[in-house]
Amino acid sequence: MGDAGSGTGGSVTKVNLSEKFDLFSEAWTPKIVGDMNGMHVKLAKFRGDFDWHSHENEDEMFLVTKGTMRIAFRDRVETVETGEFIIVPRGVEHRPGAVGGEYHVMLLEPQSTVNTGDNADSALTVTELDRI
Amino acid sequence: MGDAGSGTGGSVTKVNLSEKFDLFSEAWTPKIVGDMNGMHVKLAKFRGDFDWHSHENEDEMFLVTKGTMRIAFRDRVETVETGEFIIVPRGVEHRPGAVGGEYHVMLLEPQSTVNTGDNADSALTVTELDRI
């Protein structure tokens, strides 16, 4: 198992989230763990503040699996606890940030998504994602 | 929060999984809790055995949030524990089943997905899903 196939006429993928999170420690570098319907399932560890950005054509879903995520919008800040998810529609500016310490997130977003969105010149931009 | 907008130019959706699961008890009736990129995010409680089926055009993702899911394929059975997910590619016959007791699942699948797939005459088919 753990075969991260295309998800389209491919093979079944089974993933244990904790085992996958144990495979890496760096922040802000999403790892691909599955594919479905033209989307990637990614795991990421977040620490500190990310850059402001939006995605022109992609809705993004963040499910917090450990810790607490703070995510700023232009008009407010939302706190997303472990066991909660938030969907950020395309076009909405956002900035994931820290609430003291690290938090872990399962991300669902189209395969075309760049982590820093319209802010693709950011030092935080990652274009070649690992598959674990 | 909890606004289940279209996810496309819509508003931000934030969901606490436990709170949503507390809102219903019936098995095999997925509830829509979010939308993104033409997909639904659904929550479901599963008890006992479902019907054999496949989905012609939809890959399906099941994240187990409570209990243990058993899912049969024509050549084997997989067990998916809490904190694990499984992606069933389009066209692959499968039958979710029980391992003694209830389990809770977050489902991600295209909005076009019918729960019983090509077995749409099943007594278990649900075509009008609630949004909670």
Tell me: the pLDDT tens digits for B42-85?
A: 999 999 889 999 999 999 999 999 999 999 999 999 999 999 99
Choose the mutation target among B19, B37, B77 for the interface with A, i.e. most A CBs under 10 Å.
B37
CA–CA distance, A116 with B94 (Å, rounded to integer):
37
Do A78 and B35 lie within an 8 Å CB cutoff?
Answer: no
Q: How far is CA A20 from the centre of its chain?
A: 14
Nearest chain A residue to B39 by CA distance is A37
Chain A neighbors of B1, CB-CB under 8 A? 78
Give residue A9's pLDDT.
52
Q: How many contacts, defined by CB atoms under 8 Å, are there between A and B?
A: 125
Q: What residue ranges of chain A have pLDDT lower than 70?
A: 1-9
ipTM value of the model? 0.89
pLDDT in tens, B92-123: 999 998 787 899 999 999 998 888 888 888 88
Q: Which of B12, B17, B81 sits opposite A84 (nearest CB)?
A: B17
Lowest mean pLDDT among B1-15, B29-43, B60-74: B1-15
Those residues with Cβ within 8 angstroms of residue B3's Cβ, 6 or more apart along the chain or in another chain:
B10, B11, B12, B13
Integer Cα distance of A93 and A83 in angstroms: 23
Cβ–Cβ of A14/B80 closer than 8 Å?
yes
Give percent of chain A above pLDDT 90: 73
Residues of A in contact with B11 (CB under 8 A): 89
Ordered DSSP codes for chain B: ------SSS---EEEEHHHHHTT---SS--EEEEEETTEEEEEEEE-S----B--SS--EEEEEEESEEEEEETTEEEEEETTEEEEE-TT--BEEE-SSS-EEEEEEEETT--TTTT-TTSTT---S--B-
Q: Identify the pLDDT of residue B16.
A: 98
A-chain residue closest to B56, CA distance: A9
| Res B8 pLDDT > 70 | no
